[in-house]
């Protein structure tokens, strides 16, 4: 929101400065016109009225982004007043309005604005035609036409190049959004398969506990109650995970590879050891009293650390140090992975980032009811932080 507000105020400031510059340019031209300036004879216009007409176009420029074509029509009408009053030549605002239309409209609208502006410039040529100076008419006419054509061509071509750039950027942004959505779908499918294994395990445990309870019910009644309690807890957990599984199943695409076996926090030391063997300087810091986590939350925490370590390999410089923090604050777990960025040699080129990994990670954290925060650090490092609930809740 803050970035959008800054962009809004910056665009408004640019429009204001353009309006002031265009108005000042037109007023200077108007003030420089004298009775012996060689203008075509026309109607007599009071100075105050002339200034008012000249300020119509610059004032309209303040709305050029929201209504480019109506603003252009207003500026064009103000400029065409020079057909009646030759001393008026409000071309500054007209050129800005033409640039806006040509950079924001279709090719048809851009060509229309060019032709209309060329008509106004033709009126300017007529107004300043050197009557009584036949010896230099040819050279003057050629120079004036060439100058006007170059000005119009430069402004119009620049506007069309800007239009093409804006369209290309919009296409790239759309493609990026599609790729991120595809990455999120891929992550959901992977998680649905992992959750399927969790639910299957819980239901199998319930079946075994029930069978055991039936077997000892007659001979050892005291052992039935613990078995029933275990069945109840397994059932609650299975229902929670099954509910999340149903929310995740969005596609039946079987081409996505099946993920590896369920990851648990107990496997984090092994993951960190593998990272150290690969040359990473990784430190694991655990604080607080650990508590039981839902299997899906454990998986999410494991994947968070895994993704953060992979990012450090791809993007951090040489000698980067990574710190993995697990701060237990029951019933929550604060997990963070911070790398200091390392040192980047002149030849070091970090891998290009698509943002897909972080997008999938954000989806995982959201689906277990957690919060994720990622961002670059002032010293050049990068941090990935998450707050995870012990029991996976419904995402909001």
Question: 107-113: long-range contacts (C-beta < 8 A, 24 or more apart)?
Answer: 107/160, 109/69, 110/156, 110/159, 110/160, 110/163, 113/72
Q: What is the pLDDT of residues 42-65, one digit of tens each?
A: 455 667 777 888 888 888 888 888
- Specify whether 234 is located in the same domain as 274: no
Domain CATH number, residue 300:
3.30.565.10
- Specify whether 33 is located in the same domain as 107: yes
Q: Region 137-142: what's the mean pLDDT?
A: 70
State the pLDDT at residue 98.
Answer: 92
Please name the residues in contact with 274: beta carbons below 8 A apart, sequence gap of 6 or more.
none
The pLDDT of residue 112 is above 80: yes
Please name the residues in contact with 363: beta carbons below 8 A apart, sequence gap of 6 or more.
184, 187, 188
Among 193-202, 307-316, 351-360, 387-396, the range with the most confident prediction by mean pLDDT is 307-316
Residue 313 lies in a domain: yes
Residue 238 CA to residue 242 CA, distance in Å, equals 6
- Specify whether 227 is located in the same domain as 315: no
Beta strands at 332-339 and 371-376: parallel, antiparallel or unpaired: unpaired
- Specify whether 24 is located in the same domain as 104: yes
Domain of residue 218: give its range.
186-248
* 3-state secondary structure (DSSP) of residue 138: helix
State the pLDDT at residue 227.
Answer: 66
Q: Write the CA distances from 235 to 159, 228, 246, 249, 299, integer angstroms.
A: 65, 10, 16, 21, 20
- Specify whether 116 is located in the same domain as 17: yes
- Specify whether 320 is located in the same domain as 364: yes
**End of a domain among 114, 129, 144?**
129
State the pLDDT at residue 154.
Answer: 92
The pLDDT of residue 378 is above 80: yes
Residue 254 lies in a domain: no
Residue 148 CA to residue 227 CA, distance in Å, equals 93
- Specify whether 340 is located in the same domain as 281: yes
- Specify whether 242 is located in the same domain as 272: no
With bands split at pLDDT 50, 70 and 90, how would you rate the model's confidence at 373?
very high
The pLDDT of residue 325 is above 90: yes
Tokens of 378: 């002032």
With bands split at pLDDT 50, 70 and 90, how would you rate the model's confidence at 336?
very high
Q: Kindly report the CA angle at 58 between 56 and 60, in degrees rounded to 5? A: 70
Please name the residues in contact with 33: beta carbons below 8 A apart, sequence gap of 6 or more.
39, 87
- Specify whether 305 is located in the same domain as 365: yes
The pLDDT of residue 250 is above 50: no
State the pLDDT at residue 52.
Answer: 82
- Specify whether 123 is located in the same domain as 6: yes
Kindly report the backbone phi and psi dihedral angles of residue 263, in degrees, each rounded to the nearest multiple of 5, phi listed first: -95, 140
State the pLDDT at residue 186.
Answer: 74
- Specify whether 242 is located in the same domain as 195: yes
CA quadruple 43, 44, 49, 55: dihedral, nearest 10: 60
Q: Write the CA distances from 268 to 283, 309, 324, 371, integer angstroms.
A: 11, 12, 10, 21
Residue 156 lies in a domain: no
Q: Region 140-156: what's the mean pLDDT?
A: 84
**End of a domain among 248, 282, 299?**
248
Residue 36 lies in a domain: yes
Residue 31 CA to residue 36 CA, distance in Å, equals 13
The pLDDT of residue 17 is above 70: yes
Residue 166 lies in a domain: no
Residue 20 lies in a domain: yes
- Mean pLDDT value across the chain: 76
Residue of higher predicted confidence among 214 and 9 = 9
Give alpha helix (H) positions in the chain: 2-32, 47-60, 68-80, 91-104, 107-127, 137-216, 224-248, 268-277, 295-315, 356-367
**End of a domain among 129, 144, 170?**
129
Residue 346 CA to residue 344 CA, distance in Å, equals 7
Q: What is the pLDDT of residues 264-296, one digit of tens each?
A: 888 898 888 877 766 678 899 999 998 888 888
The pLDDT of residue 346 is above 50: no
State the pLDDT at residue 396.
Answer: 45
State the pLDDT at residue 122.
Answer: 84
Asked whether the beta carbons of 87 and 45 are under 8 A apart, the reply is: yes
Residue 318 lies in a domain: yes
Closest C-alpha to 75, from 104, 55, 49, 52: 55
Q: How far is CA 9 from the centre of its chain?
A: 19
CB 65: neighbour CB atoms within 10 A? 14
- Specify whether 204 is located in the same domain as 236: yes
With bands split at pLDDT 50, 70 and 90, how would you rate the model's confidence at 215?
low
The pLDDT of residue 350 is above 50: no
Residue 40 lies in a domain: yes
Helical axes 107-127 vs 68-80, angle rounded to 10°? 10
| Edge-to-edge strands, sheet with 281-287 | 281-287, 321-329, 332-339, 382-389, 371-376
The pLDDT of residue 21 is above 80: yes
Residue 384 CA to residue 309 CA, distance in Å, equals 10
How many structural domains are present in the chain?
A: 3
The pLDDT of residue 161 is above 80: yes
Asked whether the beta carbons of 326 and 287 are under 8 A apart, the reply is: yes
């Amino acid at each position: 929101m803050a970035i959008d507000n800054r962009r809004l105020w910056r665009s408004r400031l640019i429009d204001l400065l353009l309006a002031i510059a265009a108005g000042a340019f037109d007023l200077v031209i108007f003030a420089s016109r004298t009775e012996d300036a060689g203008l075509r004879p026309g109607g007599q216009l009071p100075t105050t009225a002339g200034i008012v007409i000249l300020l119509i176009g610059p004032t309209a420029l303040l709305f050029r982004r929201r209504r480019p074509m109506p603003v252009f029509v207003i500026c064009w009408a103000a400029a065409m007043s020079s057909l009646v009053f030759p001393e008026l030549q409000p071309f500054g605002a007209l050129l800005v309005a033409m640039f806006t239309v040509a950079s924001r409209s279709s090719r048809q609208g851009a060509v229309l604005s060019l032709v209309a502006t060329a008509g106004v410039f033709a009126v300017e040529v007529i107004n300043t035609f050197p009557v009584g100076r036949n010896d230099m008419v040819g050279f003057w006419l050629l120079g004036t036409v060439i100058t006007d054509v170059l000005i119009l061509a430069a402004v119009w071509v620049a506007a069309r190049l800007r239009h093409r750039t804006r369209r290309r950027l919009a296409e790239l942004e759309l493609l990026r959004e599609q790729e991120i959505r595809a990455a999120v779908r891929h992550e959901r499918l992977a998680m649905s398969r992992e959750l399927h294994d969790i639910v299957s395990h819980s239901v199998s445990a319930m079946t075994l506990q029930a069978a055991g309870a039936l077997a000892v019910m007659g001979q050892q009644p005291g052992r039935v109650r613990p078995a029933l309690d275990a069945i109840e807890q397994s059932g609650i957990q299975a229902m929670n995970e099954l509910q999340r599984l149903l929310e995740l199943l969005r596609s039946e695409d079987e081409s996505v590879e099946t993920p590896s076996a369920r990851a648990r926090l107990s496997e984090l030391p092994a993951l960190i050891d593998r990272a150290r063997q690969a040359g990473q300087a990784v430190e694991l810091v655990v604080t607080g009293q650990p508590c039981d986590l839902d299997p899906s939350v454990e998986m999410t925490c494991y994947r968070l650390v895994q993704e953060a370590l992979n990012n450090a390999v791809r993007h951090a410089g040489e000698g980067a140090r990574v710190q993995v923090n697990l701060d237990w604050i029951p019933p929550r777990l604060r997990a963070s992975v911070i790398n200091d960025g390392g040192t980047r040699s002149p030849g070091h080129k970090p891998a290009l980032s698509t943002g897909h990994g972080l997008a999938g990670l954000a989806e995982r954290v959201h689906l277990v009811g957690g919060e994720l925060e990622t961002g670059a650090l002032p010293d050049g490092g990068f941090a990935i932080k998450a707050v995870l609930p012990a029991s996976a809740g419904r995402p909001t």
